[in-house]
Structure 1
Amino acid sequence: MFISPAYAQDSLGGGLAMVTQIAPLLLIFAVFYFLLIRPQQKKQKEHKALLAALKRGDRVLTAGGIIGKVMVVKDGVDEVEVEIAPNVRVSILRQTIGDVLKPIGANDAGAKG
């Protein structure tokens, strides 16, 4: 008469309840991994490869929005010399380069889509 129904559960029901509590957490982690973490890692890997392949003559876009032409790339050094205007060269860090722009061809210069 004084026995609570909470103590009268069998051991199999307790294991199933634990699985049903953990399953939503695992599902949320899987969704975060495939929608947020994995694409970000892929993007970082591509950006690192882009910076490693940087060479003289490339047109680059910096994180500050400046477009320039790479003049000097030193191996083992984190700095790149970029010409942002005629006879104006600045030294920037590789990590601040956001993108390498495609060269503008002679035929593409006048065409506006």
Structure 2
Amino acid sequence: MQFLTTTSEGYISLFFTLALMLVLLYFMIYRPQKKQEKKDAAMRSSLEIGDQVTTIGGVIGRVVAIKDDTFVLETGADRVKIRFTKSAISSVEKLNMDKAPADKK
């Protein structure tokens, strides 16, 4: 009878260990990933014309047009225009009209 008690205690211990591992995985992997996805979605939805954008491919330029799930990026002095999907955005630097450079004499 002692053998059955030891085995059931072993199963209970194994169950709690697995449950603890699942909880740790949730808080260390799944939750931060969801938080980052929400942050990225907010960044993409706040995209405006004139913002400077860096794509996941490394293309840097200014947004000149926005449609449903795409935007047009103007790059360089030669003003090349390229259409991307919003999911290609890596980072956005907002156009700040409040901090216009002051005239220096």
Alignment partner for residue 74 of structure 2, among 83, 90, 102?
83
The yes-or-no answer on 1:61 pairing with 2:54 is yes
Q: Once the two structures are aligned, what percentage of the paired residues are identical?
A: 30
Higher relative contact order (CA 8 A, sep 6+): 2
> 5 Å matches for 1:1-113?
8-9=1-2, 15-74=8-67, 77-86=68-77, 87-102=79-94
Q: Secondary structure at the match of 2:73?
A: strand
Runs of 4+ in 1 over 6 A off after TM superposition: 104-107
Structure 2: which 5+ runs fail to align? Answer: none
RMSD of aligned Cα (Å): 2.1
- CA deviation after TM superposition for structure 1 residue 24, in Å: 1.0
| Structure 1 Cα separation of the partners of residues 4 and 62 of structure 2 | 70
| Structure 2 Cα separation of the partners of residues 102 and 50 of structure 1 | 10
Structure 1: which 5+ runs fail to align? Answer: 1-7, 108-113
- CA deviation after TM superposition for structure 1 residue 10, in Å: 7.9
Decide whether the 8 Å contact of 2:56 with 2:90 is kept in 1: yes
- CA deviation after TM superposition for structure 1 residue 101, in Å: 2.1
From the CA coordinates, give the structure whose radius of gyration is larger. Answer: 1
